[in-house]
Structure 1
Amino acid sequence: MLRVSIAQISPDGTKEENADKVEALIRMARGADLIVFPEYSLGARLEHADRLAEPVDGPLIRRLAAAARESGLAVIMGILESAEGGPYNSVVLMANGDAIVAHRKILLFDALGSIESRYVRPGNMPLTLVRLGEFTVGLATCFELRFPEIFRSLAAAGADLFVVPAAWYAGNLKEEQWLVSAASRAMENVAYLVAADSAARAFVGRSLVVNPWGHVELDLGKGERLVAWEISRDAVDEARSALPLIEMANQHMGTWARVRRIY
């Protein structure tokens, strides 16, 4: 069993004010094993990306990692990461007092009128698996939810829980796309999915826990909320025993990797 808290926040203050909010919620979540925050948790104004970016080994992140250690939990949070050559859209993992860059967003949101790559660089590191309790966690960020290949790669490597920090823009059919994408990635990989979305006005909110059958167990709706939820590794085992999709896909991957044209 893993007790997960989802912090659906609106990072509408200064970077320091947003960090204070994050720290307070980490301390409020004591008793959880993991707390998940949205993408851009320290500030979402991409036009100010250079100013909002924070090094993972800097004092602000170290302070949050210390709060996580004192609260006895792990933190997964999306930030703008300061790095030589320009910022990344990164996922930070804090555990045991340490903070590491666990994922850099590879597929930036250059679609539907947005050009994220104008402000941040695409990720340059392999996909990451993290062991938390009984679960093997695979990480992705927001727009990457639209790419099944990322999640199948993580599942084939052993992931049974996906954690997705997000700032999913609102708009025509965007809530429907959010729900369908999240449920599909969970169902087709027979894995849990936890997605923490931003509560700011521009985004859909509706942070989710989706079970291995693609059923939405938790939907946070709108506004700032902190909610805890328990997920069971036994539920993954039972679902994968009945529906061994990953095993079958791994077995036949070489066959459908070849495509022939007959017309």
Structure 2
Amino acid sequence: MRIAMGQLASGTDTAANLRTIDAYAARAAADGAALAAFPEYATYEKKMIDSTFPTVAQPLDGEVGRELSRIARHHGIAVVAGLVESSPDPSRAYNTLAAFGPDGALLAAYRKIHLFDAQGFRESDYVAPAPTTDPVVFDVDGVRFGLMTCYDVRFPRQAEALSDAGAHVLLACSSWVPGELKTKQWRTLLAARAIENSLFVAGICQAPPVSVGNSLLAGPMGDVLAELGLEPGVLAADITPEELASVRAHFPTRSQRRYL
């Protein structure tokens, strides 16, 4: 299967962000990708999360969700993108990844579990955590994808739970805040989650200056199979589930695990 990573430089103009997603999805489909994944906060983003996020939040079937569904259906490709979803608390939104199938149907919605209350940020001031910690997975053409968002990558048990739920590929849709050693940590953590779980891990990031860029696809041995630099763009790469079987046969850590 071929999947595409769409690295964006999203801002507060939701319509403009959606136009870029549409253009990148078209390019991904033309390149033979079955799925195109976009970053956290793909449809609305700022350098600092503030009180505007709850005000722009919409339900999954609102205008933003309907347009993402249309994009997927129009190009015949699965689309995963971060959006700001309304929550029961009007003062806080959900940071949500929505996955739409090539027919436009909603395949899955993942609300971020681990909010970024670190590095001087307080995401939880304006964003509500997911009401459940259950792993969120969905299937496209027989390949199972697991969803996680940005700061989640620092929590190995979440990736492990997605692996236990049958994921072949983790989509880590992110807006990784810049800082000392942050790009190195981003790359290292993605590779570590891939190695630990014998999975493919696609880290799809916002571009500078809001984030660090460097979207990449790590293979189950931790090798980088494809990567983008600092500029916005879209890049497709192939994943082979057969490679997972080979790696897991050589390193059967899943069956050897002894803790609960």
Which shows bigger deviation, 223-232 or 74-83? 74-83
- 1:17-69, Cα deviation, whole Å (9 max, x unpaired): 21122122222222310000000001112212023323210123212212211
Query: Which amino acid is the alignment partner of residue 124 of structure 1?
Result: P
Identity rate, percent: 31
Cα-Cα RMSD: 1.4
Whether 2:26 is the aligned partner of 1:27: answer yes
Look up the match of 1:227: 235
Larger radius of gyration: 1
Q: 1:166 aligns with which of 171, 174, 194?
A: 174
Normalization by structure 1: what TM-score? 0.91
Task: Tell me if structure 2 keeps the 8 A contact 1:68–1:94.
Answer: yes
Whether 2:249 is the aligned partner of 1:241: answer yes
**1: CA distance, partners of 2:64 / 2:184:** 36
Which shows bigger deviation, 58-67 or 206-215? 58-67
Query: Which amino acid is the alignment partner of residue 62 of structure 2?
Result: G
Look up the match of 1:89: 95
Alignment of 1:1-263 (within 5 A): 2-30=1-29, 31-45=32-46, 46-47=49-50, 48-85=52-89, 86-95=92-101, 96-99=103-106, 101-125=108-132, 126-249=134-257, 252-254=258-260
Structure 1's consecutive aligned runs of 4 or more residues displaced over 6 angstroms after TM superposition are none
**2: CA distance, partners of 1:100 / 1:138:** 12
Unaligned runs of 5+ in 1: 255-263
Which shows bigger deviation, 231-240 or 125-134? 125-134
Deviation at 1:237, TM superposition (A): 0.8
Deviation at 1:138, TM superposition (A): 1.2
Task: Tell me if structure 1 keeps the 8 A contact 2:12–2:45.
Answer: no
Task: Tell me if structure 1 keeps the 8 A contact 2:108–2:137.
Answer: no
**2: CA distance, partners of 1:72 / 1:248:** 40
Which shows bigger deviation, 82-91 or 170-179? 82-91
- 1:100-130, Cα deviation, whole Å (9 max, x unpaired): 5521101100011111001100111322121
Unaligned runs of 5+ in 2: none
Which shows bigger deviation, 110-119 or 26-35? 26-35
Local SS of the residue matching 1:140: strand
Deviation at 1:75, TM superposition (A): 0.8
Normalization by structure 2: what TM-score? 0.92
**2: CA distance, partners of 1:107 / 1:114:** 13
**2: CA distance, partners of 1:240 / 1:99:** 31
Deviation at 1:133, TM superposition (A): 2.0
Task: Tell me if structure 2 keeps the 8 A contact 1:56–1:101.
Answer: no
**2: CA distance, partners of 1:82 / 1:100:** 18
Query: Which amino acid is the alignment partner of residue 74 of structure 1?
Result: A
Local SS of the residue matching 2:259: helix
Deviation at 1:13, TM superposition (A): 4.6
**1: CA distance, partners of 2:64 / 2:177:** 27
Task: Tell me if structure 2 keeps the 8 A contact 1:55–1:81.
Answer: yes
**2: CA distance, partners of 1:38 / 1:158:** 23
- 1:82-112, Cα deviation, whole Å (9 max, x unpaired): 2331310011011121235521101100011
The count of aligned residue pairs is 251
**2: CA distance, partners of 1:117 / 1:128:** 21
**2: CA distance, partners of 1:204 / 1:115:** 19
Task: Tell me if structure 2 keeps the 8 A contact 1:62–1:99.
Answer: no
